[in-house]
Chain A
Amino acid sequence: MKVSVVKNILEANDRIAQENRAIFDENDLLVFNLMSSPGAGKTSLLENTIDALKEDLKIGVIEGDIQSSQDAERIAEKGIPAVQINTGGACHLDGNMIRDTFKEFDFDALDLLVVENVGNLVCPAEFKVGEDFKAMILSVTEGEDKPAKYPLMFHESKVLLINKIDLLPYVDCSVEKIKKEALKINPEMTIFEISCKTGEGLDAWYNWLREEVKTRGSARKQ
């Protein structure tokens, strides 16, 4: 006997993500989901961004790692509310894990919430957590073939930050090639070339993010 089912396997997660999103909307909170492979510079980007914007914006951070709370501690040192999620093996965050952190935050007092996902270029792209947009980092030491190898993440991300450009003299990696391949998969992608070490290129990112917080907030109030 054949039984027709037609059930989207990610439906349960999508539903929770939508509920999270409704709560973020009520609080006029811009939320982005930051993804990359391990070590590409997610926490470094957050540290820099917090230093640059914390006078203008009230920022909160959710840190996702398989194990340890080092990243949340790095962020908390800056006087920013930070909650660590340990997935205990899972290679991505999902809507449910994000919802479980809500009791730790006073969303009303925040303008921007950043979710640092588990280091992984594959699965995080498949799971919504209720974010306004996804942002990804690719560091130049990872190679220019990554867009072709991990198309889903490039397709789902609104922003690509090409990090560690201070290392370009030492690696065989063409930023132009990364940009070209990424834009093929996602023609509307906004791309920044940055170094979290020297600070190069970061001002453009800060300005873009400020603008994003401003326009999202006012779009919702209408």
Chain B
Amino acid sequence: MRKHNAKVLRSVRLDIGQLSAIVPESLSFCFEVMTSGTELEGAKLIMEIIPLRGTCRDCGREFEIKEYAFECPHCSSPHIDTIAGQELSIVEMEVD
């Protein structure tokens, strides 16, 4: 905030992987409690849940991993690399 000469934090955007230890409702609640009564009060926490995606090490195809089943839907291979769905990142902040 200081770097951008900003006074007000409007919002924070997070990417949260479907397979992360985060419960969005709890995080949302904590964020509100932590910011209320501070300079950051009123800032919105925007969370995008990133679905699990994988690629198959055997047939090379990419797909959504449904119901945490780490098996290739094309060739049934169990050798899957997770490429999305484990994020826990701050992506963007909106400041004034």
Binding site for B on A (CB under 8 A): 1-10, 122-123, 125-126, 148, 151-152, 155, 184-188
A14-B43 Cα distance, complex, nearest whole Å: 28
Contacts of B80 in A (CB 8 A): 187
Main DSSP-derived SS at the B contact region: loop
Contacts of B92 in A (CB 8 A): 2-6
From the candidates A5, A148, A152, A188, name the one contacting B21 in the complex (CB within 8 A): A152
- Please, could you name 18 A-B residue pairs with CB atoms under 8 Å apart, sorted by A? A2-B92, A3-B4, A3-B92, A5-B90, A5-B92, A6-B89, A6-B91, A6-B92, A7-B90, A125-B21, A126-B88, A151-B19, A152-B19, A152-B20, A184-B68, A184-B70, A187-B78, A187-B79
The answer on a CB contact under 8 Å between A10 and B90 is no
From the candidates A122, A148, A152, A185, name the one contacting B70 in the complex (CB within 8 A): A185
When A and B form their complex, which 6 residue pairs have the shortest distance between CB atoms, in order from nearest? A187-B78, A126-B21, A151-B68, A5-B90, A122-B21, A9-B88
- Is the CB of B48 closer than 8 A to any CB of chain A? no
The answer on a CB contact under 8 Å between B68 and A185 is yes
The answer on a CB contact under 8 Å between B89 and A7 is yes
Of residues B20, B70, B91, which shows the largest number of chain A Cβ atoms within 10 Å of its Cβ?
Answer: B70
- Is the CB of B94 closer than 8 A to any CB of chain A? yes
The answer on a CB contact under 8 Å between A1 and B95 is yes
The answer on a CB contact under 8 Å between A4 and B91 is yes
Q: A1-B6, A126-B20 are in contact. Are A155 and B91 (CB under 8 A)?
A: no
From the candidates B21, B71, B88, B95, name the one contacting A187 in the complex (CB within 8 A): B71
Contacts of A148 in B (CB 8 A): 68
Contacts of B19 in A (CB 8 A): 151-152, 155
- Is the CB of B30 closer than 8 A to any CB of chain A? no
Give the residue name and chain of the B residue nearest to A153 (CB): B21
**CB of B4 to closest CB in A, whole Å:** 6
Give the residue name and chain of the A residue nearest to B88 (CB): A9
Interface mask (B61-80 → A, CB under 8 Å = 1, otherwise 0): 00000001111000000111
Contacts of A155 in B (CB 8 A): 19, 68, 70
A168-B93 Cα distance, complex, nearest whole Å: 52
Give the residue name and chain of the B residue nearest to A8 (CB): B89
From the candidates B69, B70, B89, B94, name the one contacting A1 in the complex (CB within 8 A): B94
- Is the CB of B96 closer than 8 A to any CB of chain A? yes
Q: A152-B19, A184-B70, A187-B71 are in contact. Are A1 and B4 (CB under 8 A)?
A: yes
Contacts of A2 in B (CB 8 A): 92-94
- 18 more A-B contacts (CB under 8 A) besides A1-B95, A7-B89? A1-B96, A3-B4, A3-B93, A3-B95, A4-B91, A8-B89, A9-B90, A10-B88, A122-B21, A125-B21, A152-B21, A155-B19, A184-B69, A185-B70, A186-B70, A187-B70, A187-B79, A187-B80
